[in-house]
């Protein structure tokens, strides 16, 4: 082997070894509404950086509780701003930013059921209305705000079925266990089936979803790289395609 070729080969091997040595894993707690978008983003992130991801999905409230009890996460992608802010105030997190602004939709698997969402809710001509648990899921809290805004919270309370998170709420509707339900627009943005009513933002407070770097992950290059990637053009394109807004 000639000296120049030998040098190039050695350099390539060294570069590969360096890349592998720098590749790390980031453990991410992700709000359930962001599941589909995050799966797509994680795949692209891994391909672009060489880092790996280990992701847990759930309601924001339950993930927050797990973090308080020492769950080994590096990054938290919440469905609200309150829990990340609490973690920052407690010294358990840093570097908060809004990665997505969610929208709420009333959805039914029946393509003919929803023509005017507000009128349908007013009529009460259904047996079950699914919402996420408002105590742990911000989209569930937003759903209650909508019902209160329409003056229907008390009347429709007996018809409510609550999912542990927005993913389970979606399943209640998809499987017919509830005729309709309030879901994240992102869950149905790329799904043409069923019928929907995108709820006007005037009926609920903005669902600003914040991300934070968790305590102990400051020296993890994969964690910082993921947060940087979430704010880049490639991730933002995915986020908006799933029906979210971004700052």
DSSP 143-157: HHHHHHHTT-HHHHG
All residues at 6 or more sequence positions from 76 whose CB lies less than 8 Å from its CB, including other chains: 28, 29, 63, 64, 67, 83, 84, 87, 93, 211, 212, 214
- Report how far residue 1's alpha carbon sits from residue 110's, in angstroms, rounded to the nearest whole number: 69
Residue 36, number of CB atoms within 10 A of its CB? 17
Residue 60 assigned as binding residue: yes
Q: Which of 153-156's residues contact partners 24+ apart within 8 Å by CB, and which partners?
A: 155/124, 156/121, 156/124, 156/129
Q: Retrieve residue 204's tokens.
A: 């609920």
Residue ranges for the known binding site are: 60, 166
Binding-site members for molybdate are 60, 166
């Amino acid at each position: 082997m000639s000296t120049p070729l030998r040098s190039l080969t050695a350099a390539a091997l060294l570069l590969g070894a360096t890349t592998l040595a720098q590749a790390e894993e980031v453990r991410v707690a992700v709000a359930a509404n962001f599941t589909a978008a995050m799966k797509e983003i994680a795949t692209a992130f891994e391909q672009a950086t060489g880092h790996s991801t280990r992701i847990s999905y759930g309601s924001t409230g339950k993930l927050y509780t797990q973090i308080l009890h020492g769950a080994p996460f590096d990054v938290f992608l919440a469905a609200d701003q309150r829990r990340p802010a609490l973690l920052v105030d407690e010294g358990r997190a840093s570097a908060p930013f809004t990665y997505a602004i969610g929208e709420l939709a009333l959805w039914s698997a029946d393509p003919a059921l929803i023509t005017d969402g507000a009128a349908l809710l007013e009529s009460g001509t259904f047996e079950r209305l699914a919402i996420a648990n408002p105590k742990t899921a911000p989209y569930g809290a937003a759903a209650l705000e909508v019902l209160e805004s329409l003056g229907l919270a008390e009347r429709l309370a007996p018809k409510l079925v609550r999912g542990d998170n927005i993913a389970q709420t979606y399943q209640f509707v998809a499987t017919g266990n509830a005729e309709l339900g309030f879901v994240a627009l992102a869950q149905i943005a790329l799904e043409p089936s069923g019928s929907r009513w995108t709820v006007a933002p005037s009926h609920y407070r903005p669902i600003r979803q914040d991300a934070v770097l968790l305590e102990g992950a400051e020296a993890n290059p994969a964690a910082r790289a993921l947060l940087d990637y979430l704010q880049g053009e490639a991730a933002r394109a995915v986020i908006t395609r799933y029906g979210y807004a971004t700052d």
